[in-house]
Chains A and B, each alone.
Chain A
Amino acid sequence: MVNLNTIAPKNGRSYYIALGLEGSANKLGVGVIKHPILKEQEIGDHSHDCHAEILSNIRDTYTTPPGEGFLPRDTARHHRNWCVRLIKRALKEAKINDPRLDLDVICFTKGPGMGAPLHSVVIAARTCSLLWDIPLVRVNHCVGHIEMGREITKAVNPVVLYVSGGNTQVIAYSENRYRIFGETLDIAIGNCLDRFARTLKIPNAPSPGYNIEQLANKCKNKDQLVELPYTVKGMDLSMSGILAYIDSLAKDLFKGNKKNKILFDTKTGEQKVTVEDLCYSLQENLFAMLVEITERAMAHVNTSQVLIVGGVGCNVRLQEMMAQMCKDRANGQVHATDERFCIDNGVMIAQAGLLQYRMGDVVKDLKETIVTQKFRTDEVYVSWRE
């Protein structure tokens, strides 16, 4: 039996407040979340419906010039520079005057992610914890995404498609773990899109994937498709080959290599394919693969709900395709969130961390606050679900 109310909120309040700090990649997020104490949470699994109130959700993204990716060292410096300012702003927005009294817990990302940025954020978390004498909770980034998605959409037990710059996983809950059914064998989908955006030298703001989506929308010839490898391996997929192939096409296109029969007409030398067509084909191909493995997982665990989380989850075309797939399966439902909760943010860390805190999982010694680049979703014991 799950009882989420074993640990009473500070100072006899009737609600919990948690601060979440996230900085596993190029986004620095700070969020404050509030959970009221609910009677029904003492007797069963209501972790998807905490009546959470988001008091503040602030994010700052480290953006690099077109054609460049973000390097760990520079990203860490960005996080160090902005962390204090963001925490102050978040607390102000949440109307927390004295964090010593008002905060129950501080949650930070333990992993997975880039080492250096994770480090700069955890230092801020430790400092705040010592300064205000507040316990710490370490959160798995992926679990943060899942819990936020569940809270926002109220999906009880969905198959989760987690797609972002560093992760591509199909996840389903079973016996206190979020188990990974399928995942990428090499690079993540967001990484594939980002790197293609770099080849095309399109802007990294607001995000490379978004700009590819916009280019794909402008594709004039949607009946035609540039044929790309379709690499689904059982429940898993592989994307590095697709990237290498489409990269070489893009390079030939920019060089005007007339020998390439796919891009140019052999007789007239006329250009047949545009950058927009490439973007469109890439998206169609990659997303078809994603939806296919999600459908496979749904069939396997026999559920009809899908939850899309992670940065790539904002992509409207992906949501459309998923909705179509669910419509064709009986009673299928798609749950997706918008940019505020899809893209890395602090609130999701606070949400998952607060659930952990309410189940009694806190850091007892600062020694336990190490961060790690490798931290699989299925390593976390999910005590707050049945």
Chain B
Amino acid sequence: MSQELVDQVSKYLTPAIPIEPISQGAEAVVFTTTIHPYLPTINEKQKFIIKYRPAKRYRHPIIDRSLTKHRTLSESRLLAKLYQIPGIHVPKLIACDPYNGCIWLEFLGEDLPDAFGFSNLKNFLWMHASENQNPYGDIVRETLFKVGEQIGLLHWNDYCHGDLTSSNIVLVKKDEKWEPYLIDFGLGSTSNLVEDKGVDLYVLERAILSTHSSYAEKYNEWLIEGFSEVYKSNGKQGAKKLNEVMKRFGEVRLRGRKRSMLG
């Protein structure tokens, strides 16, 4: 991360709020801080996430302003709504400043053992694909099933994520088991269209395929199992809706350009 960027954020946040950069995504930089924006400090170890969308100098200021505002606002709205839905795991929203592209969130996740990095799904799967580990172990299966469930719940409630990748799913350890949390709703939306849900699933499938190529088939199968479970538990109507989504998912998959038309 360039120093210039860090300085820019420090200036905006004022020196009273110490920040530590943790990652640079495509459109936002993420920092941790120990200061709550409006509540007093209760314990010294508390941690919060600040997600800052810096102005992108490569694009025209008009495009940039409208995108930053739109995405920050819609992400905050979605998080606030999703947090209230039982069963869905998303980080808690603390504060939001759409004009400067800044949101505060609760801190989630931890570091994986043996320097595999932060506990997102990507690192988790890589850890289990490394030597002396079983990429098809029960823990992997169970976790992926739960991820599928989270996405199922999201879609069942007519929300779409828009950018489902294995790095946008954070795993939180609870009683030796991993609970997946969906993060980064920058491209999220509310939608009851099967199209958007189909595209969502397709984006995830391709992301898994490109980052975890060797085991992707099984991984995707487990994800879909979890996804289907949510719909199926909602009776006849659920099964009908599931059918629609999966049908569209298949259609979206065929849609890519220049695919050889075998079979």
Instruction: Tell me whether B67 is interfacial, beta carbon within 8 Å.
Output: yes
Instruction: Tell me whether B45 is interfacial, beta carbon within 8 Å.
Output: no
- Chain A nearest Cβ from B31, distance in angstroms: 15
Instruction: Tell me whether A341 is interfacial, beta carbon within 8 Å.
Output: no
Contact B24 A329 (CB under 8 A): yes
Instruction: Tell me whether B43 is interfacial, beta carbon within 8 Å.
Output: no
Contact B62 A225 (CB under 8 A): yes
**Interface membership of chain A positions 219-247, coded 1 if the CB is closer than 8 angstroms to chain B and 0 otherwise:** 00000110100101111100000000000
Q: For the complex, what is the distance from the CA of A343 to the CA of B206, rounded to whole Å?
A: 29
Contact A175 B24 (CB under 8 A): no
Contact A172 B210 (CB under 8 A): yes
Q: For the complex, what is the distance from the CA of A287 to the CA of B59, rounded to whole Å?
A: 8
Instruction: Tell me whether A2 is interfacial, beta carbon within 8 Å.
Output: no
Q: Which residues of A contact B211 (CB under 8 A)?
A: 174, 300-301
Contact B57 A284 (CB under 8 A): no
Contact B257 A184 (CB under 8 A): yes
User: Number of contact residues on A: which range applies?
Assistant: 35 or more
Q: Which residues of A contact B5 (CB under 8 A)?
A: 328
Chain B residues in the interface with A (C-beta under 8 A): 1-2, 4-5, 24-27, 54, 56-60, 62-63, 67, 162-165, 167, 187, 199, 203, 206-207, 209-211, 213-214, 255-261
Contact A374 B26 (CB under 8 A): no
Q: For the complex, what is the distance from the CA of A106 to the CA of B120, rounded to whole Å?
A: 48
Contact A232 B187 (CB under 8 A): yes
Q: For the complex, what is the distance from the CA of A292 to the CA of B59, rounded to whole Å?
A: 9
Listed by A's residue number, 18 A-B pairs whose Cβ atoms lie within 8 Å are A167-B257, A179-B210, A184-B257, A225-B60, A225-B62, A235-B163, A236-B203, A284-B63, A287-B59, A292-B26, A300-B26, A301-B211, A325-B56, A325-B58, A328-B56, A328-B58, A372-B260, A374-B259
Instruction: Name the one of B1, B60, B164 contacting A284, with C-beta atoms under 8 angstroms.
Output: B60
Q: Which residues of A contact B213 (CB under 8 A)?
A: 174-175, 177, 179
Q: Which residues of B contact A236 (CB under 8 A)?
A: 203
Instruction: Name the one of A180, A230, A328 contacting B2, with C-beta atoms under 8 angstroms.
Output: A328
- Chain B nearest Cβ from A88, distance in angstroms: 33
Taking CB atoms and an 8 Å cut-off, the chain A residues in 312-359 that contact chain B are: 320-322, 324-325, 327-330
Q: Which residues of B contact A291 (CB under 8 A)?
A: 58-59
Contact A234 B256 (CB under 8 A): no
Instruction: Tell me whether A376 is interfacial, beta carbon within 8 Å.
Output: yes
Contact B210 A181 (CB under 8 A): yes
Contact A288 B59 (CB under 8 A): yes
Which residue of chain B lies nearest to A169 when distances are taken between CB atoms in the complex?
B257
Q: Which residues of B contact A287 (CB under 8 A)?
A: 59
Q: For the complex, what is the distance from the CA of A185 to the CA of B198, rounded to whole Å?
A: 14
Instruction: Tell me whether A62 is interfacial, beta carbon within 8 Å.
Output: no
Contact A233 B199 (CB under 8 A): yes
Q: Which of A167, A175, A180 is the most central at the interface, judged by chain B CB atoms within 10 Å of its CB?
A: A180
Q: Which residues of B contact A296 (CB under 8 A)?
A: 26-27, 163
Contact B260 A328 (CB under 8 A): no
Contact A375 B59 (CB under 8 A): no
Q: With A181-B210, A234-B187 in contact, do A300 and B63 touch (Cβ < 8 Å)?
A: no
Q: Which residues of A contact B67 (CB under 8 A)?
A: 230
Which residue of chain B lies nearest to A295 when distances are taken between CB atoms in the complex?
B26
Which residue of chain B lies nearest to A226 when distances are taken between CB atoms in the complex?
B62
**Interface membership of chain A positions 165-187, coded 1 if the CB is closer than 8 angstroms to chain B and 0 otherwise:** 00100001011010111011100
Instruction: Name the one of A175, A234, A329, A375 contacting B163, with C-beta atoms under 8 angstroms.
Output: A234
Q: For the complex, what is the distance from the CA of A180 to the CA of B259, rounded to whole Å?
A: 12
Instruction: Tell me whether A112 is interfacial, beta carbon within 8 Å.
Output: yes
Instruction: Name the one of A174, A175, A179, A288 contacting B60, with C-beta atoms under 8 angstroms.
Output: A288
Contact B24 A299 (CB under 8 A): yes
Q: For the complex, what is the distance from the CA of A328 to the CA of B209, rounded to whole Å?
A: 29
Which residue of chain A lies nearest to B262 when distances are taken between CB atoms in the complex?
A374
Q: Which residues of B contact A288 (CB under 8 A)?
A: 56, 58-60, 63
Instruction: Tell me whether A303 is interfacial, beta carbon within 8 Å.
Output: no
Contact A234 B57 (CB under 8 A): no
Q: For the complex, what is the distance from the CA of A50 to the CA of B251, rounded to whole Å?
A: 42
Contact A295 B259 (CB under 8 A): no
